[in-house]
A = this chain, B = another copy of it.
Amino acid sequence: MAGSTYGTLFRITTWGESHGAGLGVVIDGCPAGLSLSEEDIQAHLDRRRPGQSRYTTKRSEEDRAEILSGIFEGRTTGTPISILVRNKDQRSHDYGKIKDCCRPGHADYTFNVKYGFRDYRGGGRSSGRETIGRVAAGAVASKVLGELGVRLTAYTRSIGDICIPPSEYHYDCISENALYMPNKEYAEKAAEYLETCMRNKDSSGGTVECVITGMPAGAGEPVFDKLDASLAKAVMSIGAVKGVEIGSGFRASRSKGSENNDAFFRDENGVHKRTNNAGGILGGISDGSPIILRAAIKPTSSIAQEQSTITNDGENTTIVVTGRHDPVIVPRAVVVIESMAAVTLLDMLMMNMPAKLENLKKLYK
């Protein structure tokens, strides 16, 4: 049990259900002395809010963040930052078959087995709203990282088969389309594809990519707590994610050593690599190049087609999952993936501080 805490030195604990009183996060271990306001949190929360386009749900969730602790006179004190988002849209409605059945692709069946029963309202703890706490924490981690010169950029790389080649990335248009894609033409094609899915009462998967620049070399621990392993867990822990890769990823499995190795060289600005198939991580440790990770996101499980399933009591039945559901989760996952990466990178930077005796001497002698 007890799986709602993440991180060691920068540690977040989330809580809350889709249709309970609210959701939130406690961020423990944020360094003291950071300027932080509710607006900093809100800016990130707004990026995951539904109701922003045709492709995200129409629910009018306000998701206002309230900071309950850990800030004094506008700065973090070093003590836990508790953030609360009240659920607004809790009108009781008829949950119908959802109450009694296990929706395919959802956690209804496994919650039933694990806990003996479940909060069936809107998916309960396994709702996408669970990510609110992650995003609020990510906002804080990103701000700390920003102070150290680390920048994160996440975006939709593909929806269905529509995949933007890296040569056609235009980062400045990410926030200009509802799908958070770094290319306007591909975003339009993807939008058309989603229209077709919606007409067919269907949904689509996609991939998200996150690039992190300015990451100091040296973060990440050899063996089990490698930086890439930690990022993999962070990202795979997000609801609909079914795969994670770093750098050349699965492509590396089809390539040769002479193609995949990144040659080092030095110029007047320091040490670099001619390519970055490693995705900024060698031996589990950041190498100073951009960190590149990708996540595969499955299509929305809630679809309005009839599906075979079982009741809570194990009887065969069918279900049509009605209600307001995104035809694609990917655009809303973008900020969540960025958030989990931010939390992980900051924690690993902290973990790395005592790696050398000279670092201890620098701070304590």
Contact = CB atoms under 8 A, between A and B. Distances in A.
B258 A305 contact: yes
Interface stretch (A50-58, A90-98, A167-175, A201-209): A201-209
Contact of A309 (B263, B315, B357): B263
A48 interface: no
B232 A244 contact: yes
Contacts of A126: 222, 283-284
Given A21-B66, A232-B233, A315-B266, A1 B9 contact: yes
Interface in A179-205: 197, 200-205
A323 interface: no
A3 B260 contact: no
Given A31-B1, A68-B16, A68-B22, A79 B222 contact: yes
A160 B68 CA distance: 38
Contacts of A11: 2, 5
Contacts of A72: 17, 117-119, 121, 124
B149 A365 contact: yes
A26 interface: yes
A220 B115 CA distance: 12
A82 interface: yes
Interface residues of A, number: 171
Contact of A205 (B70, B200, B255, B364): B255
Interface in A1-32: 1-11, 13-17, 20-24, 26, 28-32
A15 B69 contact: yes
Given A5-B11, A68-B15, A362 B362 contact: yes
A208 to B, nearest CB: 9
Nearest to A353: B353
A284 B107 contact: yes
Contact of A13 (B80, B262, B298): B80
A10 B105 CA distance: 29
Nearest to A273: B104
B354 A117 contact: no
A337 B309 CA distance: 33
A287 interface: yes
Contacts of A16: 68-69, 80, 82
Contacts of A274: 308
Given A224-B237, A253-B298, A298-B253, A33 B116 contact: yes
Interface in A244-297: 244-266, 271, 274, 277-279, 282-288, 296-297
B15 A82 contact: yes
A142 interface: no
A32 to B, nearest CB: 4
B33 A1 contact: no
Given A114-B285, A202-B258, A204-B255, 13 more contacts: A1-B78, A2-B9, A2-B225, A75-B117, A158-B253, A160-B255, A202-B257, A204-B256, A228-B236, A236-B244, A243-B243, A243-B245, A264-B309
